Amino acid sequence: MLKNYIKIAWKVLLRRPFYTFITLFGITFTLTILMVIASFVDHLIGNHYPEVYRDRSVYISRVKQQDSLRQSTRISPLTFQFLNQYAASLKSADKVGIVNMFNQANAYSNGQRIKLGVKYANPEFWEVARFDFLEGKPFNEAHIRNRDNVVVISDKLRGQYFGGNGPATGKTIEIDNERFRVIGVVKGVPSTRPMTSGDAYFPYTVSKSNYEKQGYIGSFVVLATAKTRAGRKAIEEEYAEIIRRIPKPLEDDGMRVYHMESEALPYLESWLSNFVEEDGVPKFYSALFLLALVILLLPTINLVNLNISRIVERSSEISIRKAFGAPSSTILWQFVVENMFIALVGGVIALAFTLVVLTMINQSGWIPNAVLVINFPVFLVSILLCLLFGFISGVYPAWRMSRMPVADALRAG
């Protein structure tokens, strides 16, 4: 039965090249846009270099403090001291990386200023974020103990500062008037991953990191991995308990704090908490879904229109099928399947187009270091979108077709 439907769908495609072109163009164009968006969303929130453990990680990115009347609120990353004392010792976590959010520094090469994003991290940072070391290696506990002035730099900075592609390990780099020995070079991270993206990575013990600041309001965040995806829950709960137990009110950074919140959250929730107070994840997915629907709407209406105008052409076929025993529901199903098949054909072409577009985006340097890809989740979403598209654009015309009075059509034929 299915084979029969698909055979017909294929023949219909071949029979009217212009119609096919318009149909496939609409589908392909729409799906390409959607797939590129899906890929971009995946780039933002998925498991990608170097945060490849995101699906089993939690992030502690901020603390929220309020006065007794909740009239004055401040939200900020945390201090290294607090995180090192409480988060680093989380029993349910496998590894806990601590790193600062945003810091800038300058270096000079041949009189040219190079603006740098700098990171101060603990050694475990290198285990929760899996960087590709092009040369050298990360800093370790010994460097921390000795308070060594060492640095891991990005490949971009190596090129800018040392020029050429020769090794930089062992060489000295001067950043903000202080000299550091380069011990490793990593592949750059796109700026869309703010917790790991940087040009120079220092041990937190270097003088500028401000790691000795006490209290809560600071500039550091935590990336903690669990052994399994499900293990994240335990970390979230353990951290919540720690925060709950802190006696309040407390005095912190010039403010008397009565209410204090800080959560360990999966990446997406943590990221969304910057924009929406509550239910960020469902809101995010609803918004994405709505966006997809709006993008799908125009070509869908177009396709519905084309399909309806073709009812007459296929009236004989529908009537015959009904005369020989196809109930209306079967006819409906046939046309929906046909449409979904056409949408899938469009989807395959769109997939090829998407690859081209993504390659172009990747090469354009629009997002430095970004590698947008079609991976399995994106592919799955794309296929689902194709089917959804086929379904939406097929149902109404199919319903019209299935209700066509048989007797009239047969007489007309």
Partner 1 sequence: MIKLTAIEKVYRTSTIETLALDNINLEIPKGEFVSIMGPSGCGKSTLLNVMGLLDNPSKGAVEIDGMEISRYSDKKLARLRNQKIGFIFQSFHLINDLSVLDNVEIPLLYRTSTGRSRRELAKEALEKVGLSNRMKHFPSQLSGGQKQRVAIARAIVGKPEIILADEPTGNLDSVMGAEILNILLQLNQEGATIAMVTHDEQMARKTNRLIRLFDGRQVS
Q: Which two tokens stand for residue 278?
A: 């509550």
Judged by CB under 8 A, the chain residues 282 through 321 that form the site for partner 1 are 316-317, 319-321
For partner 1, the closer of residues 368 and 413 by Cβ is: 413
For residue 328, the minimal CB distance to partner 1 (Å) is: 5
State yes or no: residue 376 binds partner 1 (CB under 8 A).
no
Q: Residues with Cβ < 8 Å from 34, sequence gap 6 or more?
A: 292, 295, 296, 382, 385
| Interface map 330-359 toward partner 1 (x if CB under 8 A) | x-----------------------------
In degrees rounded to 5, what are phi and psi of residue 256?
A: -90, 115
Amino acid at 123: P
Residue 12 is a binding residue for partner 1 (CB under 8 A): yes
Tokens for 296, please give them.
């799908």
Inter-residue contact 198 to 184 (CB < 8 Å): no
Using alpha carbons, list the distances in angstroms from residue 182 to 154, 173, 340: 10, 7, 56
Kindly tell me which of 18 and 324 has the beta carbon lying closer to partner 1. 324
Q: How far is the CB of 324 from partner 1 (least distance, A)?
A: 4
* Signed CA dihedral, 234, 236, 237, 243: sign only: positive
Q: Does 404 bind partner 1 (CB under 8 A)?
A: no
3-state DSSP: the chain helix, strand, coil percent, rounded to 5? 50, 20, 30
Using the structure block, give the residue that is written with the tokens 């940072």: 125
Question: Which single residue is written with the structure tokens 């007794």?
Answer: 68
324 is a contact residue toward partner 1 (CB under 8 A): yes
Binding residues for partner 1, total number by CB under 8 A: 28
Residue 328 touching partner 1 (CB under 8 A): yes
At 335, give phi and psi (nearest 5°): -75, -30
Q: Is 100 or 315 the residue whose CB approaches partner 1 more closely?
A: 315
Residue 244 touching partner 1 (CB under 8 A): no
CB of 23 to partner 1, least distance (A): 16
User: Is residue 18 within the footprint of partner 1 (CB under 8 A)?
Assistant: no
**CB of 1 or CB of 69, closer to partner 1:** 1
Rounded Cα distance, 139 and 150, in Å: 8
For the CB of residue 339, give the shortest distance to partner 1 in the complex, in Å.
Answer: 16
For partner 1, the closer of residues 65 and 319 by Cβ is: 319
Angle subtended at Cα 166 by Cα 165 and Cα 169, rounded to the nearest 5 degrees: 120
Q: Which of 246, 312, 323, 356 binds partner 1 (CB under 8 A)?
A: 323
Residues that bind partner 1 (CB under 8 A): 1, 3-4, 7-8, 11-12, 15, 316-317, 319-330, 405-407, 410-411, 413
